[in-house]
Amino acid sequence: MRQSPLPCSVHVGPAQQIPRVVHQLWMTLPGQAGGRDLEPPHATLRAAIDAWRRAAAQPADCAWEHRVWNRSSARRLLSRVSDVSFLDGFERLERWPEKQKDFFQYAVLLHIGGLFADVDTVPLQPPGVWLKEAARAATSAATAAATAATDVRLIVGLEARGSPAEASAWRWAGTTQLALWATAAAPGHPVMARAAQRYLKSPPPEVGSWARAQYDHSIAMGPGMLTRRVDEWLREAAGSRLAQLPSVRHGGRRRRRKAASAAGDTVVFGIDGLGCGQLHSGSHPCNATKASLVQHLFFGGWKPAIFGPWSATQEESGRRRRRRNPGAEDWRLPALALMAHANSAGIDLPWSAIPLFFSRVVPFEPPLLPAPPGV
């Protein structure tokens, strides 16, 4: 299943081991549309996917393949891999689409390789720029160490970096957290293999558990898992720690931070590479820095009934951040907890009925991000 790189007219720096293919996954929620695979119902997501399609085609002489997977095609892929437990693991997570997405992301990058981007992200640069910037970082690191440049086989980026108090308030997995909404890897990379195997060995959250517990599980097994496995790999393969890399260590300090750091076969972009437009970690607006590669819209499309009578209208911009500021009251946690407990008792509580239980709650709506180019 190894994807052969497409021909390119320009090749600089270390050999590229990451196939030029962009993967995305959209799955209709279980129980909807009679199990059929449909396009995203929201215009924002359809526009974001189309933005990746157009970005993948640039430049024409070095185009990337763009694959949008759905539940059916994901199952077909996982049924063909040598380890039959991958399909079983995917099916076991059907009740939690966000966890299915994370597991499939690890699996598809392990078996095919390429760049995986969530459907609520928008490319600010063509994906080929990822490889060029990664090669530049690897070459710079090799020059500084007076060694030969190592082939780049894993590209990740910082999502969050702060104090323990900030990590607790923002509900990060730790004081350093990598972004899972966009990653790139060569097929067979140990980080993806270990993350996928860890997912297969870990039990899913209990059905009907509190929404906070389900959220924490998603963070721990999503960006938290990626962060731990990358740190483990850097210690093993390069004798370094993730938190020691200049692009991570200096956070938002503009004068000292690096756009990207390389260690072994891994390149880690700083906060503005994949985490621009956030309200923490020294992140800058996406249109205020040339280092930005991706903008995450925080659409939260995998969350159950995120759109409803209390949210913005369905066609309103998906650029609203779905994470709360520290100290702000978010109505969604108690609402989702109520739905989960009702479900565990065999009661199908529709989202439209939730305002009857929380009629005095005013929904918290965070500020808008700047509009990404072309959307």
Q: Residue 366 — pLDDT band, cuts 50, 70, 90?
A: very low
pLDDT value at 338 more than 80: no
So what's the pLDDT on residue 82?
A: 77
pLDDT value at 289 more than 60: yes
Task: Supply the mean pLDDT for the chain.
Answer: 80
Q: Residue 233 — pLDDT band, cuts 50, 70, 90?
A: very high
The DSSP code sequence of 272-321 is HHH-TT-SSTT---GGG-TT--EEE----TTSTT-SSTTS--TTS-TTB-
Which of 15-24, 176-185, 201-210, 237-246 shows the lowest mean pLDDT across its residues? 201-210
Q: Which residues, in sequence order, are bridge partners of residue 158?
A: 178
pLDDT tens for residues 251-279? 555 555 679 999 999 999 999 999 999 98
Give the contacts of 11 (CB within 8 A, at least 6 positions apart): none
The CATH class, in words, for 21-303+310-356 is: alpha beta
Q: Residue 320 — pLDDT band, cuts 50, 70, 90?
A: very low
Query: Beta strands 65-69 and 21-25: pairing type?
Result: parallel
The better pLDDT of the pair 354, 146 is held by 354
Q: Residue 316 — pLDDT band, cuts 50, 70, 90?
A: very low
Q: Residue 32 — pLDDT band, cuts 50, 70, 90?
A: confident
So what's the pLDDT on residue 15?
A: 52
User: Where do the structural domains in the chain lie, given as residue ranges?
Assistant: 21-303+310-356
Q: Residue 240 — pLDDT band, cuts 50, 70, 90?
A: very high
Q: Is the pTM of this model over 0.85?
A: no
Which of 54-58, 71-75, 336-340 shows the lowest mean pLDDT across its residues? 336-340
Measured on CA atoms in the order 192, 196, 202, 203, is the torsion positive or negative?
Answer: positive
CA distance 194 to 229: 7
The better pLDDT of the pair 305, 147 is held by 147
Residue 341, both tokens: 């407990």
Give the contacts of 5 (CB within 8 A, at least 6 positions apart): 16, 19, 20
Q: Residue 6 — pLDDT band, cuts 50, 70, 90?
A: very low
pLDDT value at 334 more than 70: no
Mean pLDDT of the 171-183 span: 95
pLDDT value at 307 more than 50: no
Q: Residue 37 — pLDDT band, cuts 50, 70, 90?
A: confident
So what's the pLDDT on residue 325?
A: 45
Share above pLDDT 90 across residues of the chain, in percent, rounded to a whole number? 51
Give the contacts of 60 (CB within 8 A, at least 6 positions apart): none
Please give the distance of CA 206 from its chain centroid, rounded to a whole number: 23
Mean pLDDT of the 184-199 span: 95
Share above pLDDT 70 across residues of the chain, in percent, rounded to a whole number? 70
Q: Residue 16 — pLDDT band, cuts 50, 70, 90?
A: low
pLDDT tens for residues 344-361? 677 777 666 666 665 444
